[in-house]
Chains A and B, each alone.
Chain A
Amino acid sequence: MAAPMELFCWAGGWGLPSVDPDCLAVLTYARFTGAPLKVHRVTSPWSSPSGRLPALKTRDEGTISKTQQIITHLGKQRYNADYDLSTTQRADTLAFVSLLEEKLLPVLIHTFWVDAKNYVEHTRKWYAETIPFPLNFFLPNCMHKQHLERLQLMWGDGYMEDEEKLEKELYRDARECLTLLSQRLGSQKFFFGDSPASLDAFVFSRLAPLLKAKLPNGKLQQHLKSLQNLCNYCTSILSLYFPWDGGESPASAPRAVGADGSEAEDDPHKRRNQLLSVLVGLAAMLGYAFLSGIVSIQRGSTGPAGHQPIALEEEEEEEEE
């Protein structure tokens, strides 16, 4: 048998299997359909074969990096969550995904990456702690700039500069989008009845980070928490399909193991760093000593003889004093 497909995605955090909405969408879809994927939870895009996350390494078609394309590919491999949907339901899926992408996702990106308080205190902190040295110094900032540019192009400069206008119109549209989703879901278990479809994967992946992350500036989050059926929807998907990744207590156990593992990894680094710093210090002192003439080595004489001038110099100094 050929090797199973491999999925590279961002690591988990905040009680979720992955912190990035796109990676979460692909993971959830794979869980829904039972696709056999080998999941690599990585902490930097450089570990992925295509340099971006999420990335699906397939058997025959190389690496696919776009969320929608990954889901389509899985669908072609007979892991199709939309198989039982009627044509109207498929049309509705397309429409609601467009609604999410146009109205909700940009505001979500703004909440996590552009809003000053959230970005500095929450998002950047998490990414800086998770991404390995030395990427953690510049990668979060790089991602912040990318997201900012994308929002500027989508919304135009007028919105980015005027905070009030942004808050009033765009956040209002996002809140309306959440309310509409809530109304569409009603009291059903999933959007199209009792079994999950690709729309559920998309909706879950956009809502779950908003629900779970502890944002300092969380107006949109508060609105989501007021929509009880959406909250129940997210928590039920988490507990049904990600029982060992979701939730606080199970997460802390693998976290502890991970922490031990990472500490063990850090230890040789720590030792090495300490040794390096001592060596560097010594080399700096010796270099200064030689350069300023406190210590000098005279060539042409033997070792012990070389020491004498130093001793003599010191004696001379003492005599002078």
Chain B
Amino acid sequence: MSLVAEAFVTQLAAAEPWPENAALYQQLKEEQILLSDNASSLAVQAFLQMCNLPIRVVCRANAEYMSPSGKVPFIHVGNQVVSELGPIVQFVKAKGHSLSDGLDEVQKAEMKAYMELVNNMLLTAELYLQWCDDVTVEEITHPRYGSPYPWPLNRILSYQKQWEVRRKMKAIGWAGKTLEQVLEDVDQCCQALSQRLGTQPYFFNKQPTELDALVFGHLFTILTTQLITDELSEKVKNYSNLTAFCRRIEQQYFEGHDKDSSATVAARSAKRSLLR
């Protein structure tokens, strides 16, 4: 979009209030969605709950292809479609809701840095585990990713995605890593998050911010998704303040508002259906 059109759209976005029928699109919860996408989706849902903005979750098999950037989740608000947590945060800010206004400049710098840490280490580790660890790929990823499609389309699509993800891993230097090294990186990341959180309720003391939403999305999904082994969730469970943090946010923003909300349903379904 050209600069003028972009500015026009932002004005328009700011003018309209948040509609009641805003929708968040992701892949099918029970059969199709993978660990990394579930984490990203949960992070966006948590963020919107923290902002008190109603959203309903719509599951579509082709959510990934509908998204403007190719990544899930994306939200459909009014007549606009925005994908990924970063742009969604900015979009919501343009509408006048923001969680990080009360932070000073240094804290904002730290918040952005920690969000990049989660994206750089946790998300990449999740992608590695899903697409580069052969056992997980064969037993969980391939069956789940292509499940809505008939043979041979399901195999073709999942091999295509696997090839794409492996190329990316090679470009950023993760292809040469072993599973132990990846788990070690996850441990380092969790240690950093745990140290930053300390004994506070949220990362920036009293109020949750988008960093809390992002960390919650990833850690909660890791804790409640059953994979081939429990090594990944064990790394997170080592840090009790992180598990307490996840429980606190779940209770405050998910169970309190809606019994059938995605977090609890995802937790139940993840435990049931990912076990093979």
Contacts and interface: CB of A to CB of B under 8 A. Distances in A.
- Per CB-CB distance, the 9 closest pairs between chain A and chain B, nearest first, are A91-B192, A95-B113, A180-B109, A98-B120, A153-B171, A98-B117, A99-B113, A95-B117, A91-B195
Given A92-B196, A95-B117, A180-B108, 20 more contacts: A87-B195, A94-B117, A94-B189, A95-B114, A98-B116, A98-B120, A99-B116, A101-B116, A149-B171, A150-B171, A150-B172, A153-B167, A153-B168, A153-B171, A154-B171, A156-B70, A165-B1, A180-B109, A183-B109, A186-B106
B256 interface: no
Contacts of A96: 113
A158 interface: yes
Which bracket fits the contact residues of A? 20 to 34
22 contacts: A90-B192, A91-B193, A92-B110, A92-B113, A94-B117, A94-B188, A94-B192, A95-B110, A95-B113, A95-B114, A95-B116, A101-B120, A102-B116, A150-B171, A153-B168, A154-B172, A164-B3, A165-B1, A168-B6, A180-B113, A183-B106, A184-B110
Contacts of A98: 113, 116-117, 119-121
Contacts of A90: 192, 195
A103 B115 CA distance: 12
A154 B168 contact: yes
Contacts of B167: 153
Contact of B116 (A87, A88, A103): A103
Contacts of A180: 108-109, 112-113
B69 interface: yes
Interface string B52-84: 000000000000000001100000000000000
Contacts of B69: 156, 158
A133 B115 CA distance: 46
B191 interface: yes
B150 interface: no
A91 B195 CA distance: 7
B199 to A, nearest CB: 12
Interface string A98-120: 11011100000000000000000
Interface string B188-206: 1101110110100000000
B160 interface: no
Given A101-B120, A150-B171, A88 B106 contact: no
B101 interface: no
Contact of B109 (A88, A94, A184): A184
Interface in B192-250: 192-193, 195-196, 198
Interface in B1-50: 1-3, 6
A186 B2 CA distance: 36
B173 interface: yes
Contacts of A122: none
Contact of A88 (B105, B189, B195): B195
Contacts of A164: 2-3
Contacts, number: 77
Nearest to A146: B171
Contacts of A153: 167-168, 171-172
Contacts of B172: 150, 153-154
A180 B69 CA distance: 26
Interface in B152-184: 167-168, 171-173
Given A88-B196, A95-B114, A156-B69, A102 B119 contact: yes
A231 interface: no
Nearest to A154: B171
User: Max chain A CB contacts within 10 Å: which of B69, B109, B120, B167?
Assistant: B109
A186 B107 CA distance: 13
A255 interface: no
A95 B118 CA distance: 8
B112 A99 contact: yes
A102 B120 CA distance: 7
Contacts of A158: 69
User: Max chain B CB contacts within 10 Å: which of A92, A94, A154, A158?
Assistant: A94
A95 B168 CA distance: 21
A180 B114 CA distance: 13
A66 interface: yes
Contacts of B70: 156
Contacts of A165: 1
A220 interface: no
Contacts of A154: 168, 171-172
